[in-house]
Amino acid sequence: MVGGFDRQGLDRVFVPRAGVAFLIPALAGWLRETLAAERERWPLWLPVGVGAGTAIYFTLELEPPLWLGLAVMALALVLVFAGLRRRPALVLVGLAIGAIGLGFTGAKYRTLSVDAPVLAVRTGPAMVSGQVVKVEPKPGGPRITLADVAVRRLDADETPRRVRIRLRDSQGRVAPGDWISIAAILMPPPAPSAPGAFDFPRHAFFKEIGAVGFAVGRVRHAEAPEGKDQGSFALWLSTLRQGIYRRITQSLGGTVGAVAAALMTGIRGAIPEEVMEAMRASGLAHLLAISGLHIGLVTGVLFFAIRGILAALEPIALRFAIKKWAALGALLGAFAYLLVTGATVPTQRAFLMAAMVLSAIMLDRTAISMRLVAWAALIVLLIAPESLLGASFQMSFAAVIALVAGYEAVRVPFGRWRAHGGWWRLPLIYLLGVGLTTIIAGSATTPFVIFHFNRFSAFGLAANLLAVPVTALWIMPWATVAYILMPLGLEGVALAPMGWGIEAVIAIAREVAGWPGSVTLVPAMPVSGLVLVAAGGLWLCLWRRRWRLFGVLVIAAGLGTVPLARPPDILISGDGRLMAARTADGGLMLSKGRGNRFDRENWLRLAGLKAARPWPEETSDGGRLRCGGLGCIYRANGHVVALVDSRAAIIEDCWIADVVIARIPIRGECPSAGTVVDRFDLWRNGAYALWLEDGRVRAQSVRDVRGNRPWSPARKPRRKRKR
């Protein structure tokens, strides 16, 4: 006994505590040792920190001041200097905070640089004039973007910097650089169709597009205003791009010509929706989006072609470094391809990586692949921070990071197997490489496809094994030859065989898309799930030691959020004209009414459904939804929801329902309703989603998710104009 306590009892109490006290220093020591061993990989986390700061900026509900990011960077600088002598851990913490501050500040500066007026309310018909800076071919008529805009009914301080207008073919032809005026109806960029859906106003804000609309009259061409720039490199490039597009489609025509033009110019608007859907369903849509595959193929074809030609010229081959000449020629060709195809985010990333590799060849340096990816990501994030939120950036970098990490792991065994075999192993290695690339890239991008597009292609591996070799060995080499022959007017010689390859790829896409179960629709993944998948993937790919396998657990946790996510029970559009109610078996009933086609399609996609059930005239789903002449009553999980269409129904419904959703204004309080959403709420806050849970109702609006930011300002009554 010790002081009245049993010795064995004391051991039972204090030994575990002693074990924990020993475990913490041991774990800290293991962590320091492992981090030190991974020293060469530390720089790879710099763009991750910048991306984290960028993400923090975009998730805030209110617009932060510029000094906040600068203050974080100043704090990071203090920490770095404080730890330079004897505290290396403090230096790492300071660098991490500095990277986050850099991303935050870069995103804020980018917002300030593009800030411009956004149209507040629907306007028109009104005369709109400006300079055409972009023409996008579409079925039925082009979509144009105007700069230096003037709108007859708007003051200068209310006029957007750029507007996007849809034309019909019968309304006249336009080209980049034209100054035009046209009667059009303009609208603010449409808000998201549901909380958490794609934020088109934010996308348009960073494109400096403050209004969208459609023309109601014929195009009138005009002279350029005095003092305005008659041309620029961007306009010249847009004109060149349109000219190339026109020559390709005139040479090939039809669907094949539209696909060929998409591969050579990046303009995909004329591809029939049926072909696009087949490419998506078969997992081949990436072949139509200019990315690393296309840049790599163009660069490779030019490099080996130039080197082969120079090697055949003996005086040049013996006296000069033709490999460096070939690298320079390939670099210039890749840059031209980047400009002609529109310089999208995947193309920028691919070009930056190709440029670094080719520069390393010219400087007799060895390039480290993963560092190339890191530098490319850092440059893209600093130039266009908003790209972090897009599917293009996320899928592009997810695929290339996974591929580089995967091939780092199999490079040695692949090399040994190739070195000790005959010629027959070369084509087998190529097919294995295509298959392995498809599996790795497909696995890396699938969570992002689910998050952004709510679909999964089951037979993508089979389709890619057939279509990628055709694209790599036939289509893109002929596309490169067509570029070279185009100044001579002989591009048709190369476009004809290129078209044969495109026909084969389209046939593969249609065949695979027709297989039963080719596409699986999946409900929307929560943002938290995507963040976990991204964090786990980065941990798995950027480190090299065994501790990187912890990333697999984090990825699994992120994917586990998909089946746990609970779709909303009620949806109502921002204009109140469309409602949706969830059925007992997980289906979706959509109300009747014209318009709102985009909202309908988007709601079904977010729910992972192909079709909706009709809105009942009287009773549906076993009495879950009952409708009458004045509105509907929806019951689920012990809640009563009144969907009100008429003022006559408000008095009765406000006494029996605990949730009231009205398409009309409700003045005063509803005694029994704990949650009320009326026309004023929809006007101020946009579309609503409601979850009817046991014991409570959770309501979320588009404004709750977007906050009050420059691309989503709070709605205010329009100022009355003086007569």
Are 284 and 504 in contact, with CB atoms under 8 Å apart?
no
Q: Give the mean model confidence (pLDDT) for residues 514-540.
A: 91
Q: Give the mean model confidence (pLDDT) for residues 174-189.
A: 92
Distances (CA, A) of 286 to 282, 293, 415: 10, 9, 28
Are 208 and 116 in contact, with CB atoms under 8 Å apart?
yes
Residue with tokens 């950027």: 542
Q: Classify strands 143-151 and 123-136 as parallel, antiparallel or unpaired.
A: antiparallel
123-231 CATH:
2.40.50
> DSSP letter at 222?
E
Domain borders along the chain are 1-35, 38-114, 123-231, 242-521, 527-564, 570-706
pLDDT of the residue at 10: 42
pLDDT of the residue at 17: 55
- Which tokens is 285 given? 């849509």
**pLDDT at residue 153 tops 70:** yes
| Distance, CA of 643 to CA of 653 (rounded, Å) | 9
pLDDT of the residue at 562: 87
Q: Residues near 714 by Cβ (< 8 Å), separated by ≥ 6? A: 684, 703, 708
Which tops the pLDDT comparison, 722 or 137? 137
- Which tokens is 64 given? 């932060």
Are 275 and 493 in contact, with CB atoms under 8 Å apart?
no
pLDDT of the residue at 21: 62
- % the chain with pLDDT above 70: 92
Distances (CA, A) of 89 to 75, 86, 95, 324: 15, 9, 10, 42
Convert the pLDDT of each residue in 642-691 to its tens digit: 888 877 777 777 778 889 998 888 876 677 788 889 888 999 999 999 99
Amino acid code (one letter) for 462: A
**pLDDT at residue 524 tops 60:** yes
**pLDDT at residue 13 tops 50:** no
Identify the three-state secondary structure at position 488: helix
pLDDT of the residue at 12: 47
**pLDDT at residue 698 tops 60:** yes
Angle between helices 425-453 and 527-542 (to 10 degrees): 150
Q: Classify strands 613-614 and 588-590 as parallel, antiparallel or unpaired.
A: parallel
**pLDDT at residue 718 tops 80:** no
Nearest to 686 by CA among 260, 1, 201: 201
pLDDT of the residue at 704: 92
Peptide linkage before 125 cis (omega within 30 of 0): yes
Q: What is the mean pLDDT of the chain?
A: 86
Number of C-alpha atoms within 13 angstroms, CB side, residue 700?
17
Nearest to 194 by CA among 580, 612, 665: 580
Convert the pLDDT of each residue in 607-619 to its tens digit: 888 888 888 877 7
| Distance, CA of 145 to CA of 157 (rounded, Å) | 19
pLDDT of the residue at 406: 87
DSSP string, 258-308: HHHHHHHH---TTS-HHHHHHHHHTT-GGGTS--HHHHHHHHHHHHHHHHH
**pLDDT at residue 5 tops 50:** no
Amino acid code (one letter) for 47: P
Distances (CA, A) of 708 to 345, 608, 614, 718: 27, 30, 36, 18
Residue with tokens 């591929």: 403
Segment (H or E) for 644 = strand 639-644
- Which tokens is 653 given? 């419904």
| Distance, CA of 270 to CA of 254 (rounded, Å) | 9
Q: Give the mean model confidence (pLDDT) for residues 585-594.
A: 83
> DSSP letter at 472?
I
pLDDT of the residue at 425: 63
pLDDT of the residue at 268: 86
DSSP string, 51-77: HHHHHHHHH-SBPPPHHHHHHHHHHHH
DSSP string, 555-583: HHHHHTHHHH----SEEE-TTSS-EEEE-
| Distance, CA of 373 to CA of 454 (rounded, Å) | 27
Q: Give the mean model confidence (pLDDT) for residues 406-415.
A: 75
CA R_g for the chain: 29
pLDDT of the residue at 492: 92
**pLDDT at residue 423 tops 90:** no
Convert the pLDDT of each residue in 500-521 to its tens digit: 999 999 999 999 999 988 888 8
Q: 6-15, 18-27, 672-681 — which is least confidently predicted?
A: 6-15
| Distance, CA of 359 to CA of 351 (rounded, Å) | 12
Q: Classify strands 625-627 and 619-620 as parallel, antiparallel or unpaired.
A: antiparallel
Segment (H or E) for 597 = helix 597-607
Which tops the pLDDT comparison, 386 or 30? 386
Nearest to 219 by CA among 268, 146, 155, 292: 146
Q: 31-40, 65-74, 175-184 — which is least confidently predicted?
A: 31-40
> What is the pTM (predicted TM-score) of this model?
0.86
pLDDT of the residue at 367: 59
| Distance, CA of 615 to CA of 721 (rounded, Å) | 42
C-alpha dihedral sign at 675, 678, 680, 686 = positive
Convert the pLDDT of each residue in 248-302 to its tens digit: 999 998 899 999 999 999 888 888 889 999 998 898 888 888 777 788 888 888 9
